[in-house]
Amino acid sequence: MTAELELPAGSAPNSGLRPYLAAFTLQSFGWGVLLLVFSFGSFSSANSALDVAATGAFIAAPTLILMPISARLVRRFPARQLNVAILLIDFVLYLSLAVYTEIYGESLQLLFVAAALTGILYVAMYVPAWSNLVRTAVPPEQLSDLNLRLISVKSAGQVVGLVTSGLLLAVVGYSGLFLICGLTFLPLAWASARMPLTGAGSVAEPSESSSLIVALRELWASKLMRSSFVLMGVLIFAAWPLMVLLPPVAGYMFPESQLALSFLMAMFFIGSALVSPMIKLRINGLKGTRKMLVSAERHSWPRRLLPLVSVAIALLALTAHVEPALLGLVLTGLLLIPAGLLLGVLGVMTTSLVQREISPASAAMGLTAYVIVVEIGTSIGSLTAAAIADSIGVFIVLVGLGALGIIATIWIVSNRYFVPVSDMVAETFVPPELMPKLQSRPADT
């Protein structure tokens, strides 16, 4: 057995960033709560598929239009002030939505407006501004570790928010969900205003490579990136109908119960939570990277709550609805585990590829373009789901997609595909000065 590979001194973000990481985790939870709220409008009706399809398209269009404006804002204003301003606008927006919903009740039109504003503020404006802030927060040699931690806590926080959103909806309603999400922006705004900035001080000077078209050309020129986009697009098209059908399936099994949907989402994200352990098991000879991933898991502690949350919600559903449909709910949830695992692996792969394969000036645009492509794909997949969303078609699709997820998962974790992906993830997150030493290490025995 070879000795552990030690990271160089100062490779971890300093303790001054801890309040920011904690606030970032909390806000990711609030964001996760909102991600499914748009599909709750017709919870027990198959029409929710059409609702989600329209919502996805409604997000993509204004986001695409406003991206050039966002690029100019990021270059014109200091990163810290722009981040704080956007977060405070988010707080006021969701507080207003909470008050409006409490007074006038929820409506599909309101959800459309909320979805569009969410897309505009988050994808088109906050993501580029946030990327700029992160790049100025730490010296370049610490940026890889900080990115890894932020990706870990964001994913973990969103997962817990998604899983508990159905339960929260049953307790506090739509207005409560908007209020919870809005309140999570305040600690992040405070932490962003106080976090120490010890990095380069500003984003690279803008050039033609910061445009969306050039970013897409860079992405498509990479064989790995092109294959990843095609594979992700196909699987999103296949898997999103399953996600959209969860509300009508849960409503069909347990009418008027949001607990069933939370249980199904818990099972889906238990699958995605298995991604990190699988990567560690499959990286042979990259023990330093495995150590880094273990370190990152310490910042993903909310993900450990998933089994407890899912079991608690299952018990609540059982006590509220003692009927044969519970067995169908559990079996449906089991089918979602491989689907979550599959999309979790592809999410890590795509994020890593975008960071590695294209220039830093195009990275934010590349990720934004990827999000828009996914939104368009989800809209098409949602329309497909709406066409088959009857009681028989639902279960046929669930069984078929569950089988597809199992087959694709076996293929992905095979040596021919998964090990190169693991190496690619390592190259993304390991500091450049460690890569020669890391690549020269023999495989663990």
3-state secondary structure the chain: CCCCCCCCCCCCCCHHHHHHHHHHHHHHHHHHHHHCHHHCCCCCCCCHHHHHHHHHHHHHHHHHHHHHHHHHHHHHCCHHHHHHHHHHHHHHHHHHHHHHHHHHCCCHHHHHHHHHHHHHHHHHHHHHHHHHHHHHHCCHHHHHHHHHHHHHHHHHHHHHHHHHHHHHHHHHHHHHHHHHHHHCHHHHHHHHHHCCCCCCCCCCCCCHHHCHHHHHHHHHHCHHHHHHHHHHHHHHHHHHHHHHHHHHHHHHHCCCCHHHHHHHHHHHHHHHHCHHHHHHHHCCCCHHHHHHHHHHHHCCHHHHHHHHHHHHHHHHHHHHCCCCHHHHHHHHHHHHHHHHHHHHHHHHHHHHHHHHHCCHHHHHHHHHHHHHHHHHHHHHHHHHHHHCCCHHHHHHHHHHHHHHHHHHHHHHCCCCCHHHHHHHHHHHHCCHHHHHHHHCCCCCC
The vertex-73 CA angle with 70 and 75, nearest 5°, equals 115
355 compared with 275, residue with greater pLDDT: 275
Residue range 216-230: mean pLDDT, rounded: 65
* Best-predicted range by mean pLDDT (108-117, 232-241, 316-325): 108-117
For the cut 50, the answer to whether the pLDDT of residue 286 exceeds it is: no
pLDDT of residue 253: 55
Inform me whether the pLDDT recorded for 306 exceeds 70.
no
Percent of the chain with pLDDT over 70: 22
What domains are there in the chain, each with its CATH number? 17-199+209-432 (1.20.1250)
- What band does 63 get if pLDDT is binned at 50, 70 and 90? low
Task: Reply yes or no on whether the pLDDT at 104 is more than 70.
Answer: yes
Please tell me the predicted confidence (pLDDT) of residue 186: 92
The 10 Å Cβ neighbour count of residue 310 is 21
Question: What pLDDT, on the 0 to 100 scale, is given for residue 190?
Answer: 92
Total-model pTM: 0.60
Give the residue with greater pLDDT, 52 vs 115.
Answer: 115
Q: What is the pLDDT of residues 224-269, one digit of tens each?
A: 666 666 666 565 555 555 555 555 555 555 555 556 666 666 666 6
What's residue 19's pLDDT? 84
% of the chain residues with pLDDT over 90: 1
Q: Which of 51-60, 120-129, 338-347 has the lowest mean pLDDT?
A: 51-60
pLDDT for 72 beyond 60: yes
* CA pair distance 330, 313, nearest whole angstrom: 12
Q: Work out the pLDDT band at 38, boundaries 50, 70, 90.
A: low
Asked whether the predicted pLDDT for residue 24 surpasses 80, the reply is: yes
Q: What angle do CA 118, 144, 341 make, to 5 degrees?
A: 60
How confident is the model over 342-347, as a mean pLDDT? 60
Question: How does pLDDT run across 382-399, given as a tens digit for each residue?
Answer: 445 545 544 444 545 544
Mean pLDDT of the chain: 60
Cβ atoms of residues 115 and 31 within 8 Å: no
Is the pLDDT at 62 greater than 50? The verdict is yes
Is residue 356 within 8 A of residue 424, CB to CB? The reply is: yes
Q: Please, are residues 300 and 276 in contact by the beta-carbon 8 Å criterion?
A: yes
Cβ atoms 191, 19 nearer than 8 A: yes
State residue 322's pLDDT score: 45
pLDDT score at 33:
76
For the stretch 170-211, pLDDT in tens is: 678 778 888 888 899 899 889 888 887 775 544 444 444 345
Length of the chain: 445
